[in-house]
Structure 1
Amino acid sequence: MPVIASVPAIDELIAAGSPVAIGVSGGKDSQAAALATVAHLDRIGHAGPRLLIHSDLGIVEWSDSHPMCDKLADHIGIDLVVVRRKAGGLMERWESRWESSRVRYETLSTVTLVPCWSTPDMRFCTSEMKTHIIVAELHRRFKGQTVINVTGIRRQESRKRAMATVATRQKDGRMWDWRPIIDWTVDEVFAEIDRHGLHPHPAYRGFGMSRVSCRFCIMSNLADIAAAAAQPEAHDLYRRMVGLESTSSFGFQGARWLGDIAPHLLDAGALQRFADGKIKALHRIAAEARIAPGMLYVKGWPTRMLTDAEADILAETRSRITNLFGFSSACLDRASIHHRYSELLAEHERRAA
């Protein structure tokens, strides 16, 4: 078996019997990390509590993902804890983000429309839907204890993850993130699963996908998205996601639109709405191109008053986008825009004070 990566701080916590929580998603890396970590803990005599923890993202999850976590827990012989976002799954989060963007645009609480989808640089799908919820549950479950949080992150996966460390202490000091298989190759991951007589998620060897997370993931390549769209269980989600692309005018992966992947899954009405959504995107981008960086908000607040010329540009842009989307927007002329900027600047100053 490949080497388990560790650091003295993790070794000391294990020796002291600290709780170990292993995050599992149903994918190959978390599956291998769980198998290897538990075997390692057994070898060195860890006597503290252990558990697997899975954050359920709702309808974006593959049907086999939760059962894979159950089978893994049964094989290892430790409990599986499942947590969920109370306000709904990831699809609901994307939809509510678009609704929030619309409302904020109408009230000039944002200068440009905000994309509804998570992105590689803004992965709230991971931070909000997984990390925050899992950390909160572990703090609640192991009050007053320092918890070791195991993840299956590997350096081979991406350029960003290539810079990851073996272990990181979280800011509150009550939890360590440990990446024991960080230097493993993908072949070693599959070999570890096979060695235990288990099967990896069927999406790998059955669907032909290179990575498994959500059915449609912002990080997926074109081949994986096409493979996902070919699975009947993903068709309802596909249509719902294309519907949000059409309504919002934002492609799921920026320049790559889900609606272009499997248009045969859409009826005539959905196809027309999708085509209209892509045209809206072109008009939106052209309209917002006139907005200079200094006119934008920083962390939700304007940085200065606009000139009359800038206010006129913003008024014209907002009018065009409001008509394009059928919004009920305020602040569509110079005077009301100046008033709104003044109002927000004063509110920001009050809060800062």
Structure 2
Amino acid sequence: MVEISVASTVEVDHAVKQNAAVAIGVSGGKDSQAAALATFAYLDAKGHVGPRALIHSDLGSVEWNDSLPTCERLAEHLGAELIVVRRKAGDLMERWEARWASSKQRYAELSTVTLVPCCWSTPSLRFCTSELKTHIIRAELRRRFKGMQVVNVTGVRRQESAARAKGSIADRDGDGIINWRPISDWSVAEVFSYIAHRGLSAHMAYATFGMSRVSCRYCIMSNIDDLKAASAQEEARPLYRRMVQLEIDSSFAFQGSRWLGDIAPQLLSEEMREALALARHRAILRKDIEGQITKPMLYVKGWPTRMLTDDEAAILSSVRNKVTEIYGFESQCLTVDSIHQRYADLMSERDRRAA
């Protein structure tokens, strides 16, 4: 591949003609690297003289060692500024751990009826992307280019998934930022070919580690081969053990039914392997115990919809006592009367806020 084939729209081209600020999100992965190279070439061809920059959201301990340096080499190659942003309240691993702490607290005080599996990101709840990338990047772009039209470029490709195959080339958010996906229709081969054609190398994790995708060292979207390849790297092993420890503490597997601790058990101590086996057993017990809870007993958007009957409160009391015991929580609201009181207090608070 020598000639670039950039997908664009009338709206994007108009913004480019008006010299809008163009920012390309880069992670260190091949797609964002190719998108940055192709976008700069396209802007040059269109005579764009507005501000341009690369922007990287550093997720901390979950990042590969070469991810930020790859972005820095790309910025140097393009002669562009590299803006690096980070979540002030901690990195992604700390966010996962904080979510588990919050889940425990909410269960203990009966702010949730069941133990919420909210520590890990999921394909349907990718807060790792929304909270630690999208929101932070967009806030920086609004601050830096205040009063300007901003075009936010990403390396999203339709070939990546069925959901992305339905995506548009560009759209506009409520805050006026135009989101542009210039390499939407590129294949993997075209991405690697174009990076090489421009005289750069892709992230070392592709060729050296054998990864098919580069994002976090252990990504909730990774296939089993990538998880194994990551575990084979010395730099990823401290993170591996820390993530498995969270599986142990929470009894929630990293990828739904796939436990990260099963990927490379040889990297764990005998104590951790035994603790992981207990965590898996605890998960089975919890599911069985919580299976007694009916849908009408659950909260909707954080609030109970009605008071429980005495029989329902007795079931919930039994469930909460058993879950509290197997996890070692210090839970409140373990009796029928205290559960009734908690529901009444929450419903009163809900009505007060609505009023």
TM-score by length of 1: 0.99
Q: Does 1:129 align with 2:129?
A: no
Partners of 2:49 and 2:63 in 1: CA distance: 34
Given the alignment, which residue of 282, 302, 306 partners 2:284?
282
Indicate the percent of aligned positions where both proteins have the same amino acid. 62
SS of equivalent residue, structure 1 residue 160: helix
Report how far residue 299 of structure 1 moved.
1.4
Given the alignment, which residue of 318, 331, 334 partners 1:332?
334
Given the alignment, which residue of 286, 293, 296 partners 1:294?
296
* Equivalent residue, structure 2, for 1:89: 91
SS of equivalent residue, structure 1 residue 172: coil
* Equivalent residue, structure 2, for 1:273: 275
SS of equivalent residue, structure 2 residue 162: coil
The residue type equivalent to 1:24 in the other structure is V
* CA displacement 1:116-173 (0-9 Å, x = unmatched): 1000000000000000000000011111112100000000000111111001100122
The residue type equivalent to 1:248 in the other structure is S
Asked whether the equivalents of residues 4 and 38 of structure 2 are also in contact (C-alpha less than 8 Å), the reply is no
Given the alignment, which residue of 159, 162, 166 partners 1:159?
162
The residue type equivalent to 2:236 in the other structure is A
* Equivalent residue, structure 2, for 1:138: 141
Report how far residue 216 of structure 1 moved.
0.2
* CA displacement 1:245-285 (0-9 Å, x = unmatched): 00000000010001001000011111111111111111111
SS of equivalent residue, structure 1 residue 40: helix
SS of equivalent residue, structure 1 residue 281: helix
SS of equivalent residue, structure 1 residue 324: helix
Partners of 1:303 and 1:4 in 2: CA distance: 51
SS of equivalent residue, structure 1 residue 22: strand
* Equivalent residue, structure 2, for 1:203: 205
Report how far residue 289 of structure 1 moved.
1.1
Partners of 1:320 and 1:89 in 2: CA distance: 34
* Equivalent residue, structure 1, for 2:152: 149
SS of equivalent residue, structure 2 residue 252: coil
Report how far residue 62 of structure 1 moved.
0.4
* CA displacement 1:5-61 (0-9 Å, x = unmatched): 111111111111110000000000000000000000001100100000000000000
Alignment of 1:23-102 (within 5 A): 23-102=25-104
Asked whether the equivalents of residues 27 and 68 of structure 2 are also in contact (C-alpha less than 8 Å), the reply is yes
Asked whether the equivalents of residues 2 and 188 of structure 1 are also in contact (C-alpha less than 8 Å), the reply is no
Structure 1 stretches lacking a partner, 5+ long: none
Asked whether the equivalents of residues 147 and 176 of structure 1 are also in contact (C-alpha less than 8 Å), the reply is yes
Report how far residue 340 of structure 1 moved.
0.6
SS of equivalent residue, structure 2 residue 54: strand
The residue type equivalent to 1:172 in the other structure is D
Partners of 1:334 and 1:21 in 2: CA distance: 56
Report how far residue 351 of structure 1 moved.
1.1
Partners of 1:302 and 1:176 in 2: CA distance: 40
SS of equivalent residue, structure 1 residue 53: strand
Report how far residue 66 of structure 1 moved.
0.4
The residue type equivalent to 1:192 in the other structure is Y
Alignment of 1:216-235 (within 5 A): 216-235=218-237
Deviation beyond 6 Å, 4+ runs, structure 1: none
Partners of 2:354 and 2:151 in 1: CA distance: 37
Alignment of 1:311-326 (within 5 A): 311-326=313-328
Asked whether the equivalents of residues 2 and 184 of structure 1 are also in contact (C-alpha less than 8 Å), the reply is no
* Paired positions, count: 352
